[in-house]
Amino acid sequence: MPDTHRLTPGTAIRLSDLSTRGRDFCDDRDAAEEEFRALREEFIELQPKLYAEGRQKLLIVLQAMDAGGKDSTIRKICQGVNPQGVEVSSFKKPSVEELAHDFLWRVHREVPAAGMVGIFNRSHYEDVLVVRVHDIVSKSVWQPRYDLINQFEKHLTATGTTILKFFLHISKGEQKERFQDRLDEPQKHWKFDVEDLNKRRLWNDYQDAFEDMLNECTTKDAPWYAIPADQKWYRNVAIMRVIVATLKKMDPQYPESEDLSDIVIE
């Protein structure tokens, strides 16, 4: 079940063939939400072991169209987790300093250290998405980046980082409803950016870019998961299934205790 939405390296991927509807995979919201809460409790138990062990690293990458649910996914999966062992990094428009380096420089600095769970809200993939769709750099610049990204991720996995990459796949209709909700609810106005509407006009261009991203960068060690994200409750449980199954496979353990029987606290 954790592999339901895992993409296969070398198999042609068409976004139009991948459902955005969680209801196509589960029609019982109550059961899904109950399963999610149970899985999150397992995550809460496993994460301190990873931190205490201080050896392995878990990197979770989230990419999506605007309003795809990256922020809310992070809030849901991290609720109750010890923040000392989790770091969230967001990648927006690069700074002057970041532009003075190669495109992976700012990303590599945020890769989780031993014992940590790192979550990327957007990521190095922005450099084959936004820069492509908005013609910020030429094709001769962004095209070679697929190979560079694959090499980068291969290096991370070879040095002890387990990578989970989730593409939150929403429909154009669902995005419209979420944008409208941000306009209708005063407490959500802060989420709305007129620039998002300009990006929405480039929906098809973004879909092409995401499709190429999935095809070019689904590898054996770092595959993509295309998560149907129109129903938030399904998105949450689908992602949590993968995270918990991965941590169980990593099998972090508390370090063996020293003999403290002779210590006296005065």
| Distance separating alpha carbons of residues 39 and 36, to the nearest angstrom | 5
Residue 131 has pLDDT above 70, yes or no: yes
Which of 49-63, 211-225, 252-266 is least confident? 252-266
- Pair of tokens at residue 112: 């989780």
Ramachandran category for residue 80: left, alpha or beta (phi over 0 → left; psi -120 to 50 → alpha):
left
Q: What pLDDT, on a 0 to 100 scale, did the predictor assign at position 196?
A: 83
For 58, 89, 168, the CA distances from 109, given in Å and listed in that order, are 15, 10, 24
Helices (H), 54-144: 70-78, 96-99, 105-108, 130-133, 139-142
Q: Residues 9-40: pLDDT tens digits?
A: 999 999 999 999 999 999 999 999 999 999 99
Residues of the chain with pLDDT > 90, as a percent, come to 88
Residue with tokens 């990521």: 123
Domains and CATH numbers, the chain: 15-250 (3.40.50.300)
Q: How does residue 256 score in pLDDT terms, banded at 50, 70 and 90?
A: confident
Q: Residues 80-124: pLDDT tens digits?
A: 999 999 999 999 999 999 999 999 999 999 999 999 999 999 999
Mean pLDDT along residues 121-144: 97
Largest distance between two CA atoms of the chain: 70
Q: Residues 161-189: pLDDT tens digits?
A: 999 999 999 999 999 999 999 988 888 88
